[in-house]
Amino acid sequence: MRVALGVSYRGSAYQGWQSQPGGQTVQDRLEAALAQFLDNPVRVMCAGRTDAGVHALNQVVHLDTDAQREPFSWVRGTNRFLPDDIALQWCRPVDERFHARNSALGRRYVYVMRESPVRPALEAGLAGWSFRALDGEAMQAAAQLLIGEHDFSAFRSAECQAASPVKTLRRIHIERRGAYWRFEFEASAFLHHMVRNILGCLVAVGAGTRDARWLAGVLAARDRSLAAPTFPADGLYFVGPYYDPSLALPESTAAMDWLP
């Protein structure tokens, strides 16, 4: 049978999602815990790979197994073997045609940033930081220039393995909540570092060092060297993928109520 699992994690201690020889990745820890729970080696496929330091609220994975377990047993049993900063949130049996990555209709990210003259302390690793005052209207206006299907090569890392730089960015929403800015991104899929590279450009616009015309030029030039530096991963959260409603897979977790 094939099962889908929802996973949340704090990425600060890990070298990203994807398995690496050193074993210090979220995938390595999750597969090790599942192997202990099932008493068999396990490989999982995720909806979207996250970078070092990036967090996830509802990462979705699937795996194939002969084990017969109740959904609550998958969650509680696997969580016994996971570190405190990684936890299964839900389990659902799915059709064998379901694929965590290929079946996704889109993906969402949120970036949380503190605007303050001094750096964060309690939020260290969980929120980005701007010591400059930011103009929300300017950032939102610039963001609208990126909506739609475009070649996002200017916001793609050199290590990106995507077959094509053309993606459909469906939504960017920016709002301020007290001292914190919340940037919401939704797209068909994202390139490696795409959100963090776009964010660096939006912050430059918000701080007044660049304007919207500059961002439009960066997008059109398709040249990474013209864009702003990659913003730190600290405040980036992979909200998760979403699927056809007929699959009835959870699109929210408790952590979404906690996130500012």
- Which residues form the catalytic set? 51
Contacts 24+ apart (CB under 8 A), 252-255: 252/58, 253/6, 253/8, 253/57, 253/58, 253/89, 253/90, 254/89, 255/8, 255/57
Report the greatest alpha carbon distance in the chain: 58
Looking up tokens 């729970």 gives: 37
Residues 6+ apart with CB under 8 A from 132: 115, 203, 206, 207
CB 34 within 8 A of CB 91: no
Residues 6+ apart with CB under 8 A from 198: 146, 155, 172, 185
H-helix segments, the chain: 26-38, 71-79, 136-144, 194-206, 212-221, 255-258
Cβ–Cβ < 8 Å for 7, 88:
yes
Side chain identity at residue 159, one-letter code: E
- Name the token pair of 179: 């001292």
- Exposure string of 21-32, with b = 16+ CB inside 10 Å and e = fewer, is eeeebbbbbbbe
